[in-house]
Amino acid sequence: MATIFTDSRVSLDSLHKPNNHAFLLEEIRKMVASLERSEWKITFSWVKAHAGIYGKELADRLAKEAARSDRTSYEFHRIPKSTLYHKAAEEAKQKWQAEWTTCHKASATKQYFPTFKDRLGIKINLIPKLAAMLSGHGKDLHRFNLHEDAVCSCGQGDQTMDHLLFHCTRTSTQQELLKHQISMQKNWLASKQDLISKHRKQFSGFI
């Protein structure tokens, strides 16, 4: 009988998941099956790390020495799928950000989300009014023939998102309320990025 101790609960859990066919796990299972055919009984057990257990500390020291040694030969050359997935995801994110940065469109939206990660990190109930505000499409109602012209109904300028936030007399009450709520936490004016990332509740109330 032989008991193999490890401080990795993840490894132990993975070994007991039949649907996990990672290369190293399969190799361990094959070795265990081979030993058991030779009438060995193999068990695995968890041991606490950094607890002064002699065998555990000795194994850690020997593993570090082997990893640092120039004489150690490496027989494992496979790259885990998780590493490949992670690398592919990171490369895709870098490409996505590069396209987002260099794109000449969506200038209004970029004021709220300078990086695509800013958007991915926020859960938003994207109602039509909020979508129009974040995309700066308020005055596009005129371009889409939904309004006769681009001028705001207050008569003081085009109905842009900046106009609604700072200048429109029809939204002056909401402006003051938003300003008051944000000023309690930091100095006004918050950036548009802060409006959606740090003051989303108050900003949604304005809309």
Over residues 21-38, mean pLDDT: 90
Task: List the chain domain ranges.
Answer: 2-78, 108-206
DSSP string computed for 116-147? HHHHHT------HHHHHHHHT-TTHHHHTTSS
Higher pLDDT, 184 or 96: 96
Distances (CA, A) of 26 to 11, 49, 166: 12, 25, 63
At 182, is the pLDDT very low, low, confident or very high (cuts 50, 70, 90)? confident
Q: Higher model confidence: residue 122 or residue 58? A: 58
User: For 66-101, what is each residue's pLDDT tens digit?
Assistant: 878 777 676 666 777 778 888 899 999 999 999 998
Question: Helices in 16-145 by DSSP H: which ranges?
Answer: 23-37, 54-68, 81-102, 107-112, 116-120, 128-135, 140-143
pLDDT at 191 over 60: yes
Q: Determine what percent of the chain is predicted with pLDDT higher than 90.
A: 15
Is residue 138 very low, low, confident or very high in pLDDT (cuts 50, 70, 90)? low
Q: Read off the pLDDT of each residue in 90-113 and give the average, rounded to a whole number.
A: 89
Write the CB contacts of 113 (distance below 8 Å, at least 6 apart in sequence): 119, 193, 196
Q: What is the percent of the chain with per-residue pLDDT over 70, rounded to a whole number? A: 86
Question: Is 159's pLDDT higher than 80?
Answer: no
DSSP state for residue 49 in the 8-state scheme: T
| Averaged pLDDT for residues 35-46 | 91
Q: Are 66 and 72 in contact (CB under 8 A)?
A: yes
Cβ-defined contacts of 171-176 (< 8 Å, 24+)? 171/206, 174/205, 174/206, 175/206
State yes or no: pLDDT of 8 exceeds 80: yes
Distance CA 128, CA 172 (A): 21
pLDDT of residue 146 exceeding 60, the answer is: no
pLDDT at 77: 67
CB 157 within 8 A of CB 170: no
Average pLDDT, the chain: 81
The residue behind tokens 């596009």 is 140
Report, in this order, helix, strand and coil percent for the chain, each rounded to 5.
55, 5, 40
> Are 147 and 154 in contact, with CB atoms under 8 Å apart?
no
pTM for the full model?
A: 0.49
Residue predicted with more confidence, 161 or 115: 115
Virtual CA dihedral for 33, 38, 44, 50, nearest 10 degrees?
Answer: -120
**Residue 185, pLDDT above cutoff 70:** no
Say what the pLDDT of residue 188 is: 65
